[in-house]
Amino acid sequence: MQILFVGDVIGKPGRRVLFRALESLAGQHDIELVIVNAENAAGGFGVTRSVVDEFFAHGVDVLTSGNHIWDKREVFEFIDDEPRLLRPQNYPDSSPGKGWLVVTARNGARVGILNIMGTVFMHPALDCPFRCADRVLARRPEDVKVIFVDFHAEATSEKQAMGRYLDGQVSAVVGSHTHVPTADECVLPKGTAFISDAGMTGCYDSVIGMEVEGSVRRFVERLPERLTVATGKSTLCGVIITVDPATGVSSEIERLRISE
Ligand SMILES: [Fe+2]
Ligand SMILES: [Fe+2]
């Protein structure tokens, strides 16, 4: 079976290219599950109920997120009632929402999806993501062989370490958050598909998806500046993972880059 993961979708330009790509990808691949990181989907910051519904209406099965999950206040009102929207599992247990979900893919396979956040150069620093993954995997249901991990983190070293730590225990460890795609996709020795970062889905004529001038000024002037989503030609970045549903072992990871 194949799982499509799409990296951080940035505002309307990101949603637009994603929804168009989903239509064409459906015919070309054997995709049984679509997972999208949506932490920047509503105006570049967070998610709203209507944006979440728009994803599901276009065939997205599960949404992951990261440090921007709380940016739109209304998320507090619906995340507890929407299990298909994940927040990092290593937030305190008292936080709204959850970071682990088991779904049934289109081929009938039971798939576990885990969203965890790194602690290196990340704010806020959450509980240890490695121990968090251990705790979840220790109590996973027996029939869940396929497990996908979105590791939302800044440091490539922490991401590669997580890939190695979970190699053979999960089907895929895919990085998100930096918005810059890396070229280190591989299947690790014990069958876990890995990439440090899937990249973002939005306008690449930008600074990580945001309008250039304001982004540069913020670094030069060192003053707070409200950033806006860059507009124009948009690009989807993500990966397609091929995994054996009987064992959860991956055989291939393919990098995707689809421009308008
Ligand atoms: Fe992001
Ligand atoms: Fe992030």
What tens digit of pLDDT does each residue of 139-191 get? 999 999 999 999 999 999 999 999 999 999 999 999 999 999 999 999 999 99
Determine contact, residues 45/71, Cβ cutoff 8 Å.
yes
Closest CA to 239 of 193, 211, 198: 198
How far does residue 68's CA lie from ligand 1's centre (Å)? 7
49-57 and 11-28 helices cross at what angle (nearest 10)?
20
Q: Token pair 């979440």 is at which residue?
A: 52
Please give the tally of structural domains in the chain: 1
Give the closest ligand to the alpha carbon of residue 38. 1
How far does residue 197's CA lie from ligand 2's centre (Å)? 11
Distance, CA of 159 to CA of 149 (rounded, Å): 11
Distance, CA of 142 to CA of 184 (rounded, Å): 31
Give the closest ligand to the alpha carbon of residue 180. 1
Question: For residue 112, what is the domain's CATH number?
Answer: 3.60.21.10
Name the residues annotated as catalytic. 68
Q: Is the peptide bond before 124 cis (omega within 30 degrees of 0)?
A: yes
Residue 113: what pLDDT? 98
Confidence (pTM):
0.98
Determine contact, residues 11/202, Cβ cutoff 8 Å.
yes
How far does residue 253's CA lie from ligand 2's centre (Å)? 22
* Model pLDDT for residues 217-260, shown as the tens digit of each residue: 999 999 999 999 999 999 999 999 999 999 999 999 999 999 99
Structure tokens at 244: 């054996």
* Model pLDDT for residues 12-65, shown as the tens digit of each residue: 999 999 999 999 998 888 899 999 999 999 999 999 999 999 999 999 999 999
How far does residue 246's CA lie from ligand 1's centre (Å)? 32
Range of the domain at 30: 2-259
